Structure 1
Amino acid sequence: MTEKSTKAKVTEANEAALELGTRSDSERSASLHRIADAIEDSQEEILDANAEDVREAEEMLASGEYSRALVDRLELSPSKLRSIAEMVRSVADQEDPLGKTFTARRLDEELELYKVAVPIGVIGTVFESRPDALVQIAALSLKSGNAVILKGGSEASSSNRVLFEIIRDAASELPGGWAQLIEAREDVDTMLGMDDSIDLLMPRGSSEFVSYIQDNTSIPVLGHTEGVCHVFVDSEADLSMASEIAYDAKVQYPAVCNAVETLLVHEDVADEFLPDIAGRYRNADVELRGDEATREIIEAKPATTEDWSTEYGDLTLSIKIVEALESAIDHVNTYGSKHTDSIVTAVTERAGTFMRAVDSASVFHNASTRFSDGYRYGLGAEVGISTGKTHARGPVGLEGLTTYKYHLEGSGQTVGVYAGDDANPFLHEEFEGEWNSGRLSEE
């Protein structure tokens, strides 16, 4: 059987999107539950395919072409597959994001305007080595009524292929073509030129990669870039709490974008705090890089300016001592990636200053940066974490995959009645009401 071209796949997805958006929430959710069951039932097949990817990745690691963090993100396990299946069920059980009425406004008697949530349409995605990303993106797209083009990294090609086939077969009752898999690098360039058929692009990768996508397409781009995240230990911090947060943020899972990369410590507590946390980090094999003031207190490699803006994605951490709260804010806003940053302090006012001034999608008080996650936020899952400011920001779940349109319910009105000196005035009254396939009475 001849492989379909990318253009043919996108065209098919465009046609499927028109029908998928009209399917009921119960149909979409039932398909998601079947997908979750199929993933659990196909554990052996998935792990075999993943083992093939991991073997090849380990060879690339040995030759220096891949990082340990990439291999760690790539590898699946029985427990991870169970988590993936539960994630799909969590998405299925979320409230239907479609058909919600954002506003209801009475323009005149029996002339009512509704602003209603609808799918975006066709979403093109390009993502990194984590095979679970394919399942997350497909699940969220399906729940939100969107067709999706999936392009994973070549390092996960066997895993992605098997997972895609399982998803497609388990959701066979849906419009054919709602999910499409493309694999070649040149397919991405083809996709970038299809602004008449693709409504949104969601790249997940480096800033350079996201910039390339943005510079080579006229399709709107929702970018997921690096996570250069910070934890700031304030002069008024509970140092025991700070140690737990700083340790969790780096060590719990260092390969992900919400792991901390730079630890900022107020100079008033540095002498007391740094020796303890440095010992904990060393026991966890974390490589420390510090500024001059840090290296006067603990052993660490010299940190360079480049370190402050680097996403290590590994057991490496840069440490800087700052003289004031304002200095910490300036550092985060200068070197951070607008992803997730946290302050540890016992003083609410200082936390408020930090949280208002730091220009990031998520800003925390007394909590690990690892909480920056669609599942943990109660979104079911996420297609990525947007570090931009338009359309959607932070973990992008179902709401970020919808747009809206206006439904006007009339009873024969014409514009002429509202023009001229004898025009009827518009009422423009907000009221509590929901649109549902026709005129609704006020609640």
Structure 2
Amino acid sequence: MSDAETERKVEAAERAALELANVDVEQRNAALGAIAEAIDDHRETVIAVNDEDVAAAEELLAKGEYTQALVDRLKVDDGKVDSIVEMVESVADMDDPLGETLAARHLDDDLDLYKVAVPIGVIGTVFESRPDALVQIASLALKSGNAVILKGGSEASESNRKLFEIIREAAQEVEAIPEGWVQLIEAREAVDTVLEMDEYIDLLMPRGSSEFVSYVQDNTQIPVLGHTEGVCHVYVDREADLDEAVDVAYDAKVQYPAVCNAVETLLVHEDVAEQFLPAVADRYAEAGVELRGDERTREILEDVDVAAATDEDWRTEYGDLILAIKVVDSLPDAIDHVNTNGSKHTESILTEDDDRARQFMTAIDAASVFHNASTRFADGYRYGLGAEVGISTGKIHARGPVGLDGLTTYKYYLEGDGHLVASYAGEDALPFTHEEFDGAW
């Protein structure tokens, strides 16, 4: 794709965004319904083209160029199509994020100020191998009245192209939806063109490695909402219910290891390590989890094949059936390890002591912190957000799973009756009342 072609698509998205912002929710929901139905109707085609992507990826896996985790994320089967359709329908069922009056204030008689939710405008996204991510992002953009530029990985090119075509054609069945609201770019070099188009794009949401997100941030003037890797931890406290802790630690790693909210490091308090570690190691062995541990972990699990963990292991997102384990002396040591090595994604403490849980949860710097729950709950759908564009590990303007609310901003509307600023200046200036009131614009 030429630079001119990329620029044309971005400019078309900006024009569409101005129209889409004023399409009522019934029409946006109708388009989402059409998209869900079309994906369901074309499931065999989607699976067939995905098979091509998977076959090519497996060849590269055999050559050592791809990981098993990437191939796993790439696959689309009947069950995955079902979940994609359900996700689109759930977005349609959610309340309209636009037009909500966030605040209303009387400035003076007949002078009222309203703060109202509106779309961001044009959102550029770059995401990894999961084809369902394309549908999630497009659906959330449509519901929130935003145009969207989609750039998926080359490993999912056939799947992404087919899903994009289905989405674009289905949405056009609803006359009010402007053409050009969704755009697909495929060439790697097109990303650099997008990064330069700050006049047209309002927000970038890259999903990928820290290195890639940093590259985007360093090479654009467009605001960036970064989704980086998930180096997630589960800490088994000395006051944990150990049977429950085995189940949670197992779920956090094994339920779906290829995603960013899977646990990568297990921390265990020294008081319960000798009892807990053999039990959880047995469960991990059943699932084929490769363990890497510190010296104390390896001493306790002397009859288990546990490789020596390196400093790099404490900072690695494996995305696979690999887990690092460390025995810690205390709760503060666990907190320090997480804050030093984590990626500010999702962390969990397993304990029956609410005070210790609160200490951990308030001291940890992460977008999501759990008590007695698997890190796998860090997900837009599970949070009730309908779906997610990504999980933001930054702090501005959205944090954690980014759903509809994270794709809106606000503007101020002022309703007056010939009011003049001169009336509120000088010796006889009128006073402002600045009274909050319940009201919608």
Query: For this structure pair, what is the TM-score category when the shorter chain's length is used for normalisation?
Result: over 0.9
Q: TM-score, normalised by structure 1?
A: 0.97
- Answer yes or no: is 1:197 the counterpart of 2:203: no
User: Which letter maps to 2:121?
Assistant: G
**Divergent runs of 4+, >2 A:** none
Q: State the alpha-carbon separation in 2 of the partners of residues 196 and 403 from structure 1.
A: 18
Q: State the alpha-carbon separation in 2 of the partners of residues 193 and 406 from structure 1.
A: 29
- SS of residue in 1 equivalent to 2:189: helix
- Answer yes or no: is 1:115 the counterpart of 2:115: yes
Q: State the alpha-carbon separation in 1 of the partners of residues 386 and 365 from structure 2.
A: 25
Matches within 5 A, 1:132-281: 132-172=132-172, 173=175, 174-281=177-284
Q: State the alpha-carbon separation in 2 of the partners of residues 37 and 331 from structure 1.
A: 47
The alpha carbon displacement at 1:198 in A equals 0.2
Q: State the alpha-carbon separation in 2 of the partners of residues 109 and 242 from structure 1.
A: 60
Residue number in structure 2 paired with 1:364: 370
Residue number in structure 1 paired with 2:327: 321
- Answer yes or no: is 1:391 the counterpart of 2:397: yes
User: Which letter maps to 1:203?
Assistant: P
Change (3 A) 1:368 1:289: same
User: Which letter maps to 1:49?
Assistant: V
CA deviation profile, 1:205-262 (whole Å, cap 9, x unmatched): 0000000000000000000000000000000000011001000000000000000000
- SS of residue in 2 equivalent to 1:268: helix
- SS of residue in 1 equivalent to 2:204: strand
Identity in percent: 71
User: Which letter maps to 1:177?
Assistant: G
Q: State the alpha-carbon separation in 1 of the partners of residues 48 and 219 from structure 2.
A: 37
Residue number in structure 2 paired with 1:333: 339
Residue number in structure 2 paired with 1:284: 287
Residue number in structure 2 paired with 1:377: 383
Q: State the alpha-carbon separation in 2 of the partners of residues 371 and 159 from structure 1.
A: 27
Q: State the alpha-carbon separation in 2 of the partners of residues 161 and 229 from structure 1.
A: 32
- Answer yes or no: is 1:89 the counterpart of 2:69: no
Q: State the alpha-carbon separation in 2 of the partners of residues 419 and 331 from structure 1.
A: 56
**Structure 2 unmatched ranges of 5 or more:** none
- SS of residue in 2 equivalent to 1:269: helix
The alpha carbon displacement at 1:412 in A equals 1.0
Residue number in structure 2 paired with 1:80: 80
Residue number in structure 1 paired with 2:313: 307
Matches within 5 A, 1:97-108: 97-108=97-108
Contact 2:3–2:193 under 8 Å retained in 1: no
The alpha carbon displacement at 1:411 in A equals 1.0
The alpha carbon displacement at 1:181 in A equals 0.2
The alpha carbon displacement at 1:4 in A equals 7.0
- SS of residue in 1 equivalent to 2:429: coil
CA deviation profile, 1:122-175 (whole Å, cap 9, x unmatched): 000000000000000000000000000000000000000000000000000310
- SS of residue in 1 equivalent to 2:432: coil
- Answer yes or no: is 1:48 the counterpart of 2:48: yes
Q: State the alpha-carbon separation in 1 of the partners of residues 382 and 325 from structure 2.
A: 27
**Structure 1 unmatched ranges of 5 or more:** 436-443
